A and B are shown apart, each in its own frame.
Chain A
């Protein structure tokens, strides 16, 4: 596939994105080989549901992370923001009995406030992002424990409607696509539009590409970076509600734990440059699907709980390694031939 210059952000798949698709297929192929009955008629609906319900969380937060990384920053605190927002809104559900719609608004707003705190430290006070968010990663997680007294909030203590977002949706014959998935799709479309068609989106690329030049062009670099963190926080807030819907409980130590690793990996595998300035929504989406698939399939094929975390970490590192090799061109020929065959077959 020849990529003409300037066609970068068009909705066509480049070589790298094709590679991600191959890896996604590989995950399911390996799953079938290891455990053939995974895709048998009676288990299939459940597997599909697991995959569909885990993906939206990763996608939503990855979109924010993509913005942050394009602007040449990083946010390690997303997992803890998810955790804190989930606990805070869980408390409001339990003790104040607020309705679901208010809970969603509060979660998103709360996430935005936490993000603003990160953004203030990074952009206004000029503290390196990695230090700031490493600090807030611990601080927010700690706050999550403090506000709930370390206790989990169970499903029956929260509004029942939360379940409707998971169980109901738009049906296509036997297959129901839950509302949770539609929320993620809506977020994807909004981000795709913002990144390509708005001045704000373009300025994020500019800031990450060359901050000094951006400043001299009159772009408010500090404001751009600040807003990027606020948006990421809001995404984490939304993911907190999605977590409550998906699992039916929120827990100060589990909710959002390790999420930063998943989301950053998804973004990088999706082709966002850690050096800033480039990255696409479609690539990040594919990266999220890959990591979501790995995570879900590990449990589905029956990897014991104790082994799951270690396997997950190693598989992601392997995916990054393959990715880097492909980037360097070492695996390029092979992958090129492979993708050629796949397209022929398709």
Chain B
């Protein structure tokens, strides 16, 4: 069947203050099609998406809709033409209800400026029903899950007769069940003849939902293929220009004395009778399903929510850790799942974030030795491959992967001998993951003891010297590197047999 694309981007080029972030990219979407856009962070996905939704204007190239060239001056122009952008973090109005969120800014209803509440409620209900969404149209958004808020955003797009719906990493904050619901809705949208641009990281999901896949790397289109005729490995190779095996390189490092040992730690309702130890230069993985109590063990050791009973020993000496300050005095540091609260000072520059923890070393009495600081940061910049314009750039402008690198870089410089990492690669792309793995290895080489909590089996399997598995608040297994495999871990993660002492 001959059909015309809803939108065609022709040879789009975009430069920001001299830096080219998109080069001659062609992209189009047909009605009833899901076209996935993948690539590492910084590959240009978001820039392309922002050009198609009117946030940025292209430096060169054209956008065509229904055969005619269109110029989008702002997001509102795009919306009027039927292009809707669904943001990663839903851009909704927390204080308003579902119906208001759907129709806000929609000039086709309430033309006289007077709101017909009854009509609006009825129309909202119709749209929600057409999506198969079971949400109360009168409910206030505050407190709703991200998934529900996303549905509201999608409903809002439909209320304006959107033809093209661009979804920016819509699954990154969703649970497994919610992803399924979202995919059902995407299928319905396809049936209604909408075109969908799906931007994402998780390749399994992309393979499931997409009809066509375009891969960007360093601002250029490196491939376009039908989802049905491509393998995941091929996509990874296209994205990073390397194969996945090369990503995680395990080095055998000398393992030293026991640094941290924990005996019979219990926090009622969270975890029971947890004993573990980590040695110098050792990377110990903590596997298990989400909610198994792994993070709680981590925060208990770090003193955020201390255990009720049990003993923590550092270098063989019993210590009392009642709060994070105690933990840090004893040389323990933790990188939590949420980078924003794990010691990154978002409005600070990269260099200040890296050197913040060692100001005392850099400063002679009260004055900071700027030259020394510069040298240090320059050294790190090379080592970490942090993609930044300059080292005085604010950390909050960096992508998640680059932020995580800055967090880890900080610990390379500082005292903690024991590092607890909670989901160190969550939400960051494959290329950045590889660099995070390198950093973790580097930290181990320095002789730090590392306890790595992770839900990603490949990283547990590749990186750990030893693996603990937890299930429902109990330790269910311990494997050495040689005896572990994914089947064993999965069995232990879903079994309730307590590990034999």
What A residues does B137 contact at CB under 8 A?
Answer: 6
CB of B18 within 8 Å of the partner chain: no
CB of B92 within 8 Å of the partner chain: yes
Complex CA gap A276/B94 in Å reads: 11
CB of B114 within 8 Å of the partner chain: yes
Cβ–Cβ contact A199 & B110, under 8 A: yes
Write the chain B residue with the least CB distance to A7: B138
Write the chain A residue with the least CB distance to B105: A217
The stretch that binds B, out of A61-69, A171-179, A200-208, is A200-208
The B101-159 residues at the A interface (CB cut-off 8 A) are 104-107, 110, 113-115, 117, 136-140, 156
Complex CA gap A115/B119 in Å reads: 35
Question: Do A210 and B115 contact each other (CB < 8 Å), given the known contacts A5-B139, A6-B138?
Answer: no
Question: Do A5 and B92 contact each other (CB < 8 Å), given the known contacts A202-B100, A218-B79, A219-B104?
Answer: no
CB of B95 within 8 Å of the partner chain: yes
A218 contacts which of B75, B98, B100, B115 (Cβ < 8 Å)?
B75
Cβ–Cβ contact A198 & B114, under 8 A: yes
CB of B96 within 8 Å of the partner chain: yes
Question: Do A199 and B115 contact each other (CB < 8 Å), given the known contacts A206-B93, A209-B96?
Answer: yes
Write the chain A residue with the least CB distance to B107: A218
Cβ–Cβ contact A206 & B97, under 8 A: no
Question: Do A277 and B140 contact each other (CB < 8 Å), given the known contacts A218-B75, A218-B76?
Answer: no
Question: Do A8 and B140 contact each other (CB < 8 Å), given the known contacts A212-B91, A213-B93, A219-B105?
Answer: yes
Band of interface residues on A: 20 to 34
Complex CA gap A196/B97 in Å reads: 13
CB of B80 within 8 Å of the partner chain: yes
Could you give, for residues 191-207 of chain B, a 1 whenever the CB lies within 8 Å of some chain A CB and a 0 otherwise?
00000000000000000
Complex CA gap A125/B140 in Å reads: 33
CB of B407 within 8 Å of the partner chain: no
Which residue of A6, A200, A201, A212 has the most chain B CB atoms within 10 A of its CB atom?
A: A6
Complex CA gap A196/B140 in Å reads: 15
What B residues does A198 contact at CB under 8 A?
Answer: 113-115
A-B contact count (CB 8 A): 88
A205 contacts which of B91, B93, B107, B113 (Cβ < 8 Å)?
B93
What B residues does A210 contact at CB under 8 A?
Answer: 91-94
What A residues does B115 contact at CB under 8 A?
Answer: 196-199, 201-202
A201 to chain B, nearest CB (A): 8
What A residues does B79 contact at CB under 8 A?
Answer: 216-218
Cβ–Cβ contact B107 & A6, under 8 A: no
What B residues does A6 contact at CB under 8 A?
Answer: 97-99, 136-140
What B residues does A267 contact at CB under 8 A?
Answer: none
Complex CA gap A61/B126 in Å reads: 41
What B residues does A5 contact at CB under 8 A?
Answer: 97, 136, 138-140
Write the chain A residue with the least CB distance to B137: A6
CB of A80 within 8 Å of the partner chain: no
The B387-429 residues at the A interface (CB cut-off 8 A) are none
Question: Do A8 and B97 contact each other (CB < 8 Å), given the known contacts A218-B75, A218-B107?
Answer: yes
CB of A32 within 8 Å of the partner chain: no
CB of B85 within 8 Å of the partner chain: yes
A104 to chain B, nearest CB (A): 26
CB of A214 within 8 Å of the partner chain: yes
What B residues does A216 contact at CB under 8 A?
Answer: 75-76, 79, 85, 91
CB of A20 within 8 Å of the partner chain: no
What A residues does B96 contact at CB under 8 A?
Answer: 202, 205-206, 209, 277
Complex CA gap A320/B76 in Å reads: 41
Cβ–Cβ contact A209 & B138, under 8 A: no
What B residues does A209 contact at CB under 8 A?
Answer: 93-96
Write the chain A residue with the least CB distance to B121: A6
CB of A278 within 8 Å of the partner chain: yes
Complex CA gap A107/B114 in Å reads: 28
Cβ–Cβ contact B100 & A278, under 8 A: no
Write the chain B residue with the least CB distance to A3: B140
What A residues does B92 contact at CB under 8 A?
Answer: 210, 213
Cβ–Cβ contact B91 & A278, under 8 A: no
Could you give, for residues 186-202 of chain A, a 1 whenever the CB lies within 8 Å of some chain B CB and a 0 otherwise?
00000000001111111
Question: Do A202 and B114 contact each other (CB < 8 Å), given the known contacts A6-B138, A209-B96, A218-B76?
Answer: no
Which residue of A196, A209, A215, A277 has the most chain B CB atoms within 10 A of its CB atom?
A: A209
The B245-259 residues at the A interface (CB cut-off 8 A) are none
What A residues does B93 contact at CB under 8 A?
Answer: 205-206, 209-210, 213-214, 277
Write the chain A residue with the least CB distance to B112: A199
Cβ–Cβ contact B94 & A277, under 8 A: yes
The B363-399 residues at the A interface (CB cut-off 8 A) are none
Complex CA gap A275/B389 in Å reads: 34
Complex CA gap A7/B137 in Å reads: 11
B98 to chain A, nearest CB (A): 8
B224 to chain A, nearest CB (A): 29
The B66-100 residues at the A interface (CB cut-off 8 A) are 75-76, 79-80, 85, 91-100
Complex CA gap A142/B105 in Å reads: 41
What B residues does A4 contact at CB under 8 A?
Answer: 138
B115 to chain A, nearest CB (A): 5
What B residues does A203 contact at CB under 8 A?
Answer: 104-105
Which residue of B95, B136, B140 has the most chain A CB atoms within 10 A of its CB atom?
A: B95
A282 to chain B, nearest CB (A): 16
A90 to chain B, nearest CB (A): 36
What B residues does A200 contact at CB under 8 A?
Answer: 113
The A276-297 residues at the B interface (CB cut-off 8 A) are 276-278
Complex CA gap A203/B105 in Å reads: 8
B381 to chain A, nearest CB (A): 31
B113 contacts which of A199, A208, A273, A278 (Cβ < 8 Å)?
A199
Write the chain B residue with the least CB distance to A208: B95
The A43-66 residues at the B interface (CB cut-off 8 A) are none
What A residues does B156 contact at CB under 8 A?
Answer: 217
Cβ–Cβ contact A215 & B75, under 8 A: yes
What B residues does A197 contact at CB under 8 A?
Answer: 114-115, 117
Write the chain B residue with the least CB distance to A196: B115
Write the chain B residue with the least CB distance to A207: B93
What B residues does A205 contact at CB under 8 A?
Answer: 93, 95-96, 100
Write the chain A residue with the least CB distance to B143: A5
Could you give, for residues 205-238 of chain A, a 1 whenever the CB lies within 8 Å of some chain B CB and a 0 otherwise?
1101110111111110000000000000000000
Which residue of A202, A217, A278 has the most chain B CB atoms within 10 A of its CB atom?
A: A217
Complex CA gap A53/B91 in Å reads: 45
What A residues does B100 contact at CB under 8 A?
Answer: 202, 205-206
Cβ–Cβ contact B105 & A278, under 8 A: no
What A residues does B106 contact at CB under 8 A?
Answer: 217
Which residue of B75, B96, B114, B137 has the most chain A CB atoms within 10 A of its CB atom?
A: B96
Cβ–Cβ contact B114 & A214, under 8 A: no
Q: Identify the A interface with B (CB < 8 A).
A: 4-8, 196-203, 205-206, 208-210, 212-219, 273, 276-278
Which 8 pairs, one residue from A and one from B, show the smallest C-beta to C-beta distance?
Answer: A6-B138, A217-B105, A218-B76, A277-B95, A213-B91, A209-B93, A5-B139, A6-B97
Q: Identify the B interface with A (CB < 8 A).
A: 75-76, 79-80, 85, 91-100, 104-107, 110, 113-115, 117, 136-140, 156
Show 16 A/B contacts (Cβ-Cβ < 8 Å), sorted by A: A6-B97, A7-B138, A197-B115, A198-B113, A201-B115, A202-B96, A202-B104, A203-B105, A206-B104, A208-B95, A210-B92, A214-B104, A217-B156, A218-B80, A218-B107, A219-B105
* New contact pairs (14) apart from A8-B140, A217-B104, CB-CB < 8 Å: A5-B97, A6-B98, A6-B99, A198-B113, A198-B115, A199-B113, A206-B104, A209-B95, A213-B91, A214-B93, A216-B75, A216-B85, A276-B95, A277-B95
